[in-house]
Amino acid sequence: MLDLIPSLGPWLHRLADGQFAVATIVAASGSVPRPVGTSMLVTESGEVLGSLSGGCVEGAVVVLAQEAMDDGGPRLESYGFSAADAFAAGLTCGGRLDIHIQPVPAAVPGEPAHPLRTALLQLAEPGPDQSMALVRLLGSPGGAAVVLHHPATAGVAASPELSFLQGEAALQVEAILRLGGTGLVSIPGAGDCLPDWTGQPMDGSAVLVESRLAPPRMLVFGANDFGAALVPAAKLLGYHVTLVDARPAFARQPRFAGADQVVAEWPHRYLAAEAAAGRTDHRTVAAVLTHDPKFDIPLLEAALALDLAYVGAMGSRRSHLQRVGELLSAGVPPERIAQLHSPIGLDLGAATPAEVAVSITAEIIAARNRAASCLPLRETSGTIHPHPAPTPAPTDSDKQEIAWT
Is 240 within a domain?
yes
For residue 74, the enclosing domain spans: 2-212
Q: Parallel, antiparallel, or unpaired for β 75-80 and 240-245?
A: unpaired
pLDDT for position 52: 87
CB 220 within 8 A of CB 241: yes
Is 317 within a domain?
yes
Residue 156, class by beta-carbon neighbours within 10 Å (0-12 exposed, 13-18 middle, 19+ buried)?
buried
- What's the CATH number where 335 sits? 3.40.50.720
pLDDT tens column, 92-129: 556 788 899 999 999 999 998 999 999 999 998 876 67
* pLDDT reading at 369 higher than 90: no
What is the C-alpha separation between 236 and 215, in angstroms, rounded? 12
Sequence-separated (6 or more) residues with CB below 8 Å from residue 315: 291, 296, 323, 342, 343, 344
Domain tally, the chain: 2
Based on the fold, state whether residues 314 and 236 are members of the same structural domain: yes
CB 40 within 8 A of CB 56: no
Based on the fold, state whether residues 258 and 165 are members of the same structural domain: no
Based on the fold, state whether residues 286 and 323 are members of the same structural domain: yes
Based on the fold, state whether residues 236 and 153 are members of the same structural domain: no
pLDDT tens column, 169-227: 888 998 888 888 899 998 865 444 443 333 333 334 789 999 988 889 999 999 999 99
What is the C-alpha separation between 147 and 125, in angstroms, rounded? 11
pLDDT tens column, 262-290: 999 999 999 999 999 999 998 999 999 99
Terminal C-alpha separation, the chain: 27
Based on the fold, state whether residues 279 and 174 are members of the same structural domain: no
Is 402 within a domain?
no
Is 382 within a domain?
no
Nearest to 211 by CA among 162, 173, 169: 173
Based on the fold, state whether residues 269 and 187 are members of the same structural domain: no
Q: Which of 19-23, 80-84, 310-314 has the lowest mean pLDDT?
A: 80-84
Is 397 within a domain?
no
Is 64 within a domain?
yes
* pLDDT reading at 242 higher than 70: yes
pLDDT for position 363: 93
Based on the fold, state whether residues 221 and 365 are members of the same structural domain: yes
What is the C-alpha separation between 199 and 76, in angstroms, rounded? 10
